[in-house]
Amino acid sequence: MSPIPWRTSLPLALLLLAPLSTGCVERALVVRSDPPGAKVFVDGREIGTTPARLPFEHYGTREVMVRMEVREPGGDHTPLAPVTRMVELAAPWYQWFPIDLFSEFLWPGTIVDERVVEVALVPHTREELIERYEASARAHGIRLPLDPIPPAGDGAGAGSSEPPAAGKPAEAPPERP
């Protein structure tokens, strides 16, 4: 029996060793905040404090929320406005079919796909929170308790639920046929 020539034995050896050196793609979503130490929620589930790393298997859109309260030395705390972002995790070109078969199974090394979300948390004073509430209420047509009552000439009098002015009798509603 004659020995196998090296020209045929080398490709044969590589073919036999290929399954031992299979590739891998590691995917992770990393959330960082300023200041660090904020709680991180991804799709409504708490994943830890910043900087946080969440491995994921599937690409898509994720809701990332970061929130924190800063404790002052005297026991006081400063609320920081929570930040919510919709993060699109789009598949890179090497994860498209049929290229992904090569990157997942045949590539000899590990491919790292790390997506980073950076968030700056801003402190709010009580006055800023009240101002934001009032602006939002007025934008939605809600009259606040201390807002002045609009004059009757602007269309607010007829058909409104406002009580009649003092000293004037209430108008009777029109009769229905």
> What is the per-residue pLDDT for 157?
47
Q: What is the mean predicted confidence (pLDDT) over 108-128?
A: 86
Residue 95's nearest CA partner among 25, 21, 18, 22 is 25
Is the pLDDT confidence value at 140 over 60?
yes
Q: What is the pTM of this model?
A: 0.58
Residue 164 lies in a domain: no
Domain that holds residue 108: 18-126
Whether residue 107 is contained in a domain is answered as: yes
pLDDT at 6: 61
Residue range 32-39: mean pLDDT, rounded = 92
The verdict on residue 167 lying in a domain is no
Of residues 78 and 28, which shows the higher confidence score? 28
Residue 29 lies in a domain: yes
**What is the spatial distance between Cα 142 and Cα 105, in angstroms, rounded to a whole number?**
59
Residue 64 lies in a domain: yes
Domains held by the chain: number: 1
Helices (H), the chain: 6-17, 99-101, 126-139
The answer to which of 23-32, 72-81, 154-163 has the lowest mean pLDDT is: 154-163
As a whole number, mean pLDDT of residues 27-52 equals 94
In a domain, 58, yes or no: yes
Which CATH number fits the domain that encloses residue 72? 2.60.40
Q: How far is CA 131 from CA 119, 125, 126, 147, in A?
A: 23, 10, 9, 14
For residue 109, tell me if it sits in a domain: yes
What does DSSP say about strands 110-120 and 24-34: parallel, antiparallel, or unpaired?
parallel
CA distances from 73 to 77, 106, 121 (A): 9, 56, 19
Q: Is residue 47 part of a domain?
A: yes
Joined tokens for residue 176: 């229905």
Higher pLDDT, 20 or 148: 148
Mean pLDDT of all residues belonging to the chain: 79
- Does the pLDDT of residue 121 top 80, yes or no? yes
Mean per-residue pLDDT, 88-108: 84
